[in-house]
Amino acid sequence: MSLEVKIPSVGESITSGLLSVWHKNDGDSVAAGDVLLTLETDKVSSEIQAEGPGVLRIKVPAGTDVKIGEVVALIEEGGAAPAPKKKDEPKVAPLPAAMPASEPKPAAAPAPSLSETVATANTALSVISENIPAESREGRSTRKKMSPLRRKIAQQLVMAQHTAAILTTFNEADMSAVMRLRSELQESFTKEHGIKLGFMSFFIKAAVSALQAVPAINSRMDGDDLVQNHFYDVGVAVGTERGLVVPVVRDADKLTFAGIERALADYAVKAREGKIKIEDLQGGVFTLSNGGIYGSLLSTPILNPPQSGILGMHKIQERPVAEKGQVVIRPMMYLALSYDHRVVDGKEAVTFLVRVKDCIENPARLLLGL
């Protein structure tokens, strides 16, 4: 008797995906709960587990587009694994989340930051990409199929530029006060909450304050209608080897700094374990994109439709600035706000960005809700 390994439904609007990796080889013995394959769609990546024990018989190779409900393998119950084949077969390393820790972690250890998790996820995803056989070498170049997520990103970016009147305005913020506050409170904050205080929570709080001050940016076009949002679900763009994902921090206006950092840490765990769900990526009203973690000094971010605004954060760099008639060195960050000019006027965009700048340069305003 055999168990069928079918591609499960991973979302109402998803009908197909890419079978990117087999984590087991044909003929391997598997146990119930073993991760068999990774399915990539235009929204999320999912790991499919074995429903019972037996010997795996693969019917569909990695790198194949598959439909929801399609049978991609069988698990023969009570079978024995055959002797190893003579020809070489690709071995796929498991994701780092599945690797045993080299030493136990203390119970009170703080959760990793989102940027640290992105680095871990990038490493894992590079292992996956190196083992996808759906590619061909043509002379001095290599051709391979785009992943569903990359195809979706390409469509979204082109659609955003074709349908919205995107304009970008710039400013810069002196990071001295935030850096000083983090340095002074980091130890006690970590001890109290079991998590580090990062820069992103300051910027999310600043963005919420600016959205409250300039409601036009917390709106979107829907046909001939203008929809005004009265909630503050803020997306945080995260780049990986697979592409860009934007998990959403829900009701950021109601969260403390610790609550925001904890929400980001939860997404960090999901990213590391490959468990980010579609609902984690939906419903954001505004997006923050931090190209500074990669060294970007300045950029013009593209809108995340149907949102009307996105804030680009960049590398903190010491620069000479004029202060009270004196030239001083300060840690500065360029800020970029891209917005839909159909919805947001230039005055509103500039006012929004100045509000963010003021909140970052005077973080006491955020702590006191001013």
> What domains can be seen in the chain, in order of their start residue?
2-79 (2.40.50.100), 149-368 (3.30.559.10)
Q: Which has more confidence, 271 or 248?
A: 248
Residue 113 pLDDT: 55
* pLDDT score at 136: 64
Confidence (pTM): 0.67
Lowest mean pLDDT, pick from 144-153, 205-214, 228-237, 246-255: 144-153
The residue with greater pLDDT, 93 or 367, is 367
Spell out where the chain has E strands. Answer: 2-6, 16-22, 29-30, 35-40, 45-49, 54-58, 64-67, 71-76, 135-138, 141-144, 166-174, 219-222, 225-228, 234-239, 244-245, 248-249, 286-290, 309-313, 317-323, 326-340
Non-local CB neighbours of 341 within 8 Å, separated by 6+ positions: 165, 166, 167
Report the pLDDT value the prediction gives residue 241, as an integer from 0 to 100.
Answer: 62
In 3-state terms, the chain is what percent helix, strand and coil (to 5)?
Answer: 35, 30, 40
State the pLDDT confidence band at 148, using cuts at 50, 70 and 90: confident
> Any idea how long the chain is?
370
* pLDDT at residue number 158: 85
> Between 150 and 117, whose confidence is greater?
150
- pLDDT at residue 118 is higher than 60: no
Confidence of residue 132 (pLDDT cuts 50, 70, 90): very low
Q: Residue 59 CA to chain centroid, in angstroms?
A: 32
What's the confidence (pLDDT) of residue 73? 92
Band (129; pLDDT cuts 50, 70, 90): very low
Counting DSSP H helices and E strands in the chain, the numbers are: 7, 20
Closest CA to 12 of 43, 53, 39: 43
pLDDT of residue 163: 82
| pLDDT at 110 (0 to 100) | 53
Q: What is the spatial distance between Cα 35 and Cα 23, in angstroms, rounded to a whole number?
A: 7
pLDDT 10s digits, 172-230? 999 999 999 999 999 999 999 999 999 999 999 999 999 999 999 999 999 889 999 99
Mean pLDDT for the chain overall: 82
Residue 32 scores a pLDDT above 50: yes
Cβ atoms 37, 28 nearer than 8 A: no
The arithmetic mean of pLDDT across residues 344-356, rounded, is 96
Which carries the bigger pLDDT value, residue 45 or residue 124? 45
Catalytic residue status for 345: yes
341 is known as an active-site residue: yes
- Report pLDDT for 124: 43
Q: Is the pLDDT of residue 342 over 90?
A: yes
Please state which of the ranges 71-75, 273-277, 284-288 shows the lowest mean pLDDT: 273-277
Among 26, 34, 233, 341, the one annotated catalytic: 341
Supply the pLDDT for residue 370.
67
pLDDT higher for 307 or 95? 307
H/E stretch holding 101: none
pLDDT at 20 over 90: no
The mean pLDDT of 272-298, rounded to a whole number, is 87
- Over range 265-288, report the average pLDDT: 84
Q: Which helix (H) or strand (E) holds 91?
A: none
pLDDT at position 154: 80
Contact (Cβ atoms closer than 8 angstroms) between residue 234 and residue 263: no
